[in-house]
Amino acid sequence: MTAGPLVDPAAIERATRLLAAGGLVAFPTETVYGLGADADDAEAVRAIFAAKGRPADHPVIVHVHDASAIGAWASGAPDAARQLAQAFWPGPLTLVLPRSPRAHDALTGGQASVGLRCPAHRWARALLAAFAALRGDPMAALAAPSANSFGRISPTTAAHVRADLGEKPQGRVDLILDGGPCPVGIESTIVDLTGAAPRLLRHGAISRGQVEATIGCAVPDAGAGAPRASGRLLSHYAPRAPLELLEPSRLPARINALRGTRLAVLAPAAALLDWPASVVLRLVAPADAATYARRLYALLHQLDESGAERILAAAPPHGELWEAVGDRLRRAAAAAEPDEDGT
Ligand code: TXA
Ligand code: MG
């Protein structure tokens, strides 16, 4: 499966040349925009961290063109890795595997594991293919975290990247490729296959049930002691104004209690009735999980730009399909509180 609009070959060519020269290129994937650098170039990878303002000991995902690259970047990958790659690559799934010597410390944050993902977006695939061709190495790959400043909302359009990181000389990125809005909209599911049993490090569009059905065993959430993963910090995916997540039925009372405070509200259409003028922006929460995921970060960006002092969001429905959206909203809501690291 590939996704996204047709690529612009001239833009891809410019991007590959910049990447081969150690530059940073923001590119669309089906999940969110990534901030890419040559995965073999430790200095370029460190430049990603500097551009994002992200701590250097966080690992970054290595994006590969196809599953044949698993053997180059990981060593001793279990059967489950091949099964999952076969079932879901290219697609929104990241596998954490024991690293090979090629996966250097700047990629892994000094850990013994490496995160690998093969993206499905047409532009990402074209970029990876052209980059590998230019490097003359089919295993050449791109290190890429989401293309946002550390702790800020992930970008699902090129405009989001432009507004946050920006292009040089004023901004921090050499080139921002515009391949349209990301069709999945939230980051990949991450499965850790380095331990005795597989664990889910991050919820995404590939559900726990799909992963479990493919490898034939339970895949519980990772608990304490899990590998460092910046997406696991609670204070992530955060708008600037404090975001409060509450049951839809509690919204009217909460809005009344906050009269006099400029509010932005994200709630199902039915809950968006007659509200006081203190509500400066009301956005309709999509009714199905895939649409909600696709639009989530654009909605958070809009809420953020509304000038509201506080954001109220209705809690989404329960159930497996909603796990990833619920997880991102809870993290956005937790931003005003101390996170897992107590910072
Ligand atoms: O959908 C995605 O995964 C997007 C697109 C651009 O591919 N990328 C993304 O990257 O979300 P980032 O860096 O924002 O989040 C990657 C997550 C982080 O939480 C990171 O710590 C974790 O993956 N990760 C990467 N390598 C890891 C490893 N070796 N062990 C544990 N976690 C790892
Ligand atoms: Mg991120």
Task: Look at residue 3 and tell me if it is in a domain.
Answer: no
The answer to whether residues 139 and 287 belong to one domain is: no
91 lines ligand 1 (CB under 6 A): no
Task: Look at residue 48 and tell me if it is in a domain.
Answer: yes
Burial class (CB in 10 A: 0-12, 13-18, 19+), 85: buried
Shortest-distance ligand to the CA of residue 232? 1
- pLDDT higher than 50, residue 51: yes
Give per-residue pLDDT as tens, 86-121: 999 999 999 999 999 999 999 999 999 999 999 999
Q: Could you write out the DSSP letters of every residue in 273-298?
A: -S--TTEEEEEEPPSSHHHHHHHHHH
The answer to whether residues 155 and 257 belong to one domain is: no
Task: Look at residue 195 and tell me if it is in a domain.
Answer: yes
Which pLDDT does position 198 carry in this prediction?
Answer: 97
The answer to whether residues 266 and 170 belong to one domain is: no
Task: Look at residue 339 and tell me if it is in a domain.
Answer: no
Any idea what the CATH number is for the domain that residue 128 is in?
Answer: 3.90.870.10
The answer to whether residues 118 and 262 belong to one domain is: no
155 lines ligand 1 (CB under 6 A): no
CA 29 to centroid of chain Cα atoms: 10
The answer to whether residues 209 and 79 belong to one domain is: yes
Give the relative orientation of helices 208-215 and 79-88 as an angle to the nearest 10 degrees: 130
The answer to whether residues 142 and 250 belong to one domain is: no
> If you take atom 13 of ligand 1, which residue's CA is the nearest one?
145
How close is the Cα of 60 to the center of ligand 1, in Å? 5
96 lines ligand 1 (CB under 6 A): yes
The answer to whether residues 99 and 158 belong to one domain is: yes
The answer to whether residues 16 and 64 belong to one domain is: yes
Task: Look at residue 137 and tell me if it is in a domain.
Answer: yes
Which pLDDT does position 239 carry in this prediction?
Answer: 83
Give per-residue pLDDT as tens, 127-141: 999 999 999 999 999
Contacts made by residues 84-88, CB under 8 angstroms, sequence distance 24+: 84/191, 84/193, 84/211, 84/214, 84/215, 85/118, 87/210, 87/214, 88/206, 88/210, 88/214
> If you take atom 31 of ligand 1, which residue's CA is the nearest one?
227
Q: How confident is the model at residue 31 (pLDDT cuts 50, 70, 90)?
A: very high
Alpha helices in 89-168 (DSSP H): 105-108, 122-135, 158-164
- Mean pLDDT, all residues of the chain: 91
Question: Considering 196, 215, 234, which residue would you say is the last residue of a domain?
Answer: 215
Give per-residue pLDDT as tens, 304-330: 899 999 999 999 999 999 999 999 999
Burial class (CB in 10 A: 0-12, 13-18, 19+), 98: middle
List Cα–Cα distances, 250 to 125, 255, 284, in angstroms. 45, 9, 16
Q: How confident is the model at residue 274 (pLDDT cuts 50, 70, 90)?
A: confident
272-287: average pLDDT: 86
Task: Look at residue 116 and tell me if it is in a domain.
Answer: yes
Which pLDDT does position 277 carry in this prediction?
Answer: 83
Which pLDDT does position 236 carry in this prediction?
Answer: 57
| Rounded distance between C-alpha atoms, residue 16 and residue 22, angstroms | 10
Which pLDDT does position 342 carry in this prediction?
Answer: 28
Task: Look at residue 226 and tell me if it is in a domain.
Answer: no
| Rounded distance between C-alpha atoms, residue 27 and residue 6, angstroms | 14
The answer to whether residues 186 and 283 belong to one domain is: no
Mutate to test the pocket of ligand 1, among 157, 187, 188, 189 (most ligand atoms within 8 A of CB): 187
Atom of ligand 1 lying closest to residue 190 CA:
23
Distance in Å from the first CA to the final CA of the chain: 41
Share of the chain above pLDDT 90, in %: 83
245 neighbors 329 (Cβ within 8 angstroms): yes
The number of domains in the chain is: 2
265 lines ligand 1 (CB under 6 A): no
The answer to whether residues 146 and 191 belong to one domain is: yes
Q: Which domain holds residue 27?
A: 9-215
Closest C-alpha among 174, 169, 158, 130 to residue 37: 174
Q: How confident is the model at residue 341 (pLDDT cuts 50, 70, 90)?
A: very low
The answer to whether residues 186 and 263 belong to one domain is: no
- pLDDT higher than 50, residue 5: yes
Give per-residue pLDDT as tens, 221-244: 997 555 555 455 555 567 889 999
Which pLDDT does position 133 carry in this prediction?
Answer: 98
- pLDDT higher than 90, residue 276: no
Task: Look at residue 341 and tell me if it is in a domain.
Answer: no
Which pLDDT does position 272 carry in this prediction?
Answer: 65
Residue with the two structure tokens 């292009």: 167
Any idea what the CATH number is for the domain that residue 297 is in?
Answer: 3.40.50.11030
Give per-residue pLDDT as tens, 155-202: 999 999 999 999 999 999 999 999 999 999 999 999 999 999 999 999
pTM of the model: 0.93
The answer to whether residues 204 and 254 belong to one domain is: no
